[in-house]
Amino acid sequence: MRTPQPSHSILGAEPRRSSCRLCGKGLRLAVDFGRMPLANAFLTREQFASEVFFNLSAGFCEPCSLFQLLEQPKPEQMFHGGYPFFTGSSEGMRRHFSELASRIRKDFLPDGGFITDLGSNDGTFLKNFPQEQYKRLGIEPSANVASAAQAQGIETEISFFDIKISKRIRQQKGGADVFAGTNVLCHIPDLAGTLHAVAHLLNPEGVAIFEDPYLGEVLAKTSYDQIYDEHVYLFSVTALVRACESQGLRLFDAELIWTHGGSLRYSICKKDSKRMESPRVRQFLDSEKKSGMLDFSRYEQFREQCEHSRDLLIETLTALKAQRKRVAGYAATSKSTTVLNYCGITPDLVTFISDTTPEKQGKFTPGTHIPVLPYEHFKSNYPTHALLFAWNHTEEIYAKEEAFVQSGGRWITYVPKVKVS
Ligand code: TMP
Ligand code: ZN
């Protein structure tokens, strides 16, 4: 069913790795999704001919328990002036950030304290820390989203984060009481260097709080669409504990949260901090060991689950096409790029994708060239079936789209299992 595609690498992409980014030992190939464009490179018809690709595959380092991409495009190609993702675009995410901010203010940030947010995007999160009460600083390499934050009075350093920037911030503003980073640490290839820079910026009792998609959830739900260019790592608690230890830091808490289809919120302090370790850390470590997540064989099993999911989804879409049904995609998420390209979903199977982000509308999906149309088009031209790419927002979307279902519309989902409901 899938046409084999020639390998076609992005100029300047890091060469395919055979060794772990953290410990240098050999990586074992877990999954190979083949030729892949950048997840967020929505493009115009004129750009089809110059589209660039890389090989999307991931490996596992058994000594570090670290799941990582084998090849990653240069960060500058992914996070730039045209980056189309705005954190503030989902109601659920806005609520989530406001809840995280309340927790930080209550537990970790004194009045007058200093908070930095790595990957601060359009400032949605930092807005929750009034500037009369706190010192706040965003760090964000994508200029367009960073400018949106600056326009709202949120001081933002437009740059990637490393030890040089960390030293400069410390010199100019002092040490940080809280270092936040949601959906960012798993994007940065130099994990050791970033943790080193975090350790440098933190005050002795300062806390770093990160959120990233959780490997355990990806395995349990076969949500292989979390694997795309930006996610160079999918973390387990075991891997994070080891990575922190290597940089004089200590992971003292971890919890599972709903965002991005199942993420880990984890808290880190300096090695010698007085903070107590939450019993949750040990529970995660035990359950990861028990579930086989630390053994390579679990990743071979995951590969088979991905292939099975792909085959079922294509079968379902092909059958619907034969019945002359009209299938549209719902939300042109980054995740959808992996699904569309890995499964080989062409515009004859999914005729358009509805999306609320103006920067994506009127463009085409990376690699598969399915038109992305405004949400209003979906509302006024209900398809017979909607393939839900923003499955991590299922509740919000099902509630919003009752009229679609009442008009006879059906949802197609593929996480955790391919299903038409
Ligand atoms: P994400 O938060 O899962 O990455 O989703 C990002 C994209 O999904 C973004 O382009 C907006 C789009 N989207 C919709 O079009 N409708 C929706 O109801 C939601 C939640 C997202
Ligand atoms: Zn390693």
Ligand 1 proximity of 392 Cβ (cutoff 6 Å): yes
User: In this structure, what token pair is assigned to residue 195?
Assistant: 């943790």
More confident: 75 or 69:
69
Closest C-alpha to ligand 1, atom 17: 331
Lowest mean pLDDT among 142-151, 251-260, 309-318, 360-369: 142-151
For ligand 1, the distance from its centroid to the CA atom of residue 70, given in whole angstroms, is 27
Residue 25 CA to ligand 2 centre (angstroms)? 6
Residue 89 Cβ < 6 Å to ligand 1: yes
pLDDT band, very low/low/confident/very high, at 94 (cuts 50, 70, 90): confident
Check if the beta carbon of residue 338 is closer than 8 Å to that of residue 234. no
Centroid of ligand 2 to alpha carbon of 208 (angstroms)? 23
Mutate to test the pocket of ligand 1, among 333, 375, 389, 400 (most ligand atoms within 8 A of CB): 333
With a 6 Å cutoff on the Cβ, whether 372 touches ligand 1 is: no
Element (H, E) at 343: helix 334-343
- According to DSSP H, which parts of 189-331 are helical? 191-201, 215-221, 237-245, 279-290, 297-322
pLDDT above 90 as % of the chain: 88
Q: Determine which residue's CA is closest to atom 1 belonging to ligand 1.
A: 333
- Ligand 1 close to Cβ of residue 373 (< 6 A): no
Q: Is the CB of 390 under 6 A from ligand 1?
A: yes
Q: Return all residues near 359 (Cβ < 8 A) that are at least 6 apart.
A: 42, 82, 84
CA of 390 to the centre of ligand 1 (A): 6
What are the tokens at 31? 């999954």
Q: Tell me what the pLDDT averaged over the chain comes to.
A: 93
β-strands 410-413, 233-234 pairing: unpaired
pLDDT at residue 93 in the model: 82
Read off the pLDDT band of 81 (50, 70, 90): low
Q: What is the pLDDT of residue 6?
A: 38
Separation of 158 CA from ligand 1 center, angstroms? 25
Residue 2 pLDDT exceeds 50: no
**CA angle (182 as vertex; 177, 187 as ends), nearest 5:** 115
Cα distance between residue 319 and residue 397, in whole Å: 25
Ligand nearest to the CA of 223: 1
Core vs surface per residue 114-136: b (16+ CB within 10 A) or e: bbbbbbbbbbbbbbbbeeeebbb
Is any ligand 1 atom within 6 A of the Cβ of residue 291? no
pLDDT digits (tens, 9 = 90+) for 214-248: 999 999 999 999 999 999 999 999 999 999 999 99
Residue 415's Cβ-side half-sphere holds a number of Cα atoms within 13 Å equal to: 23
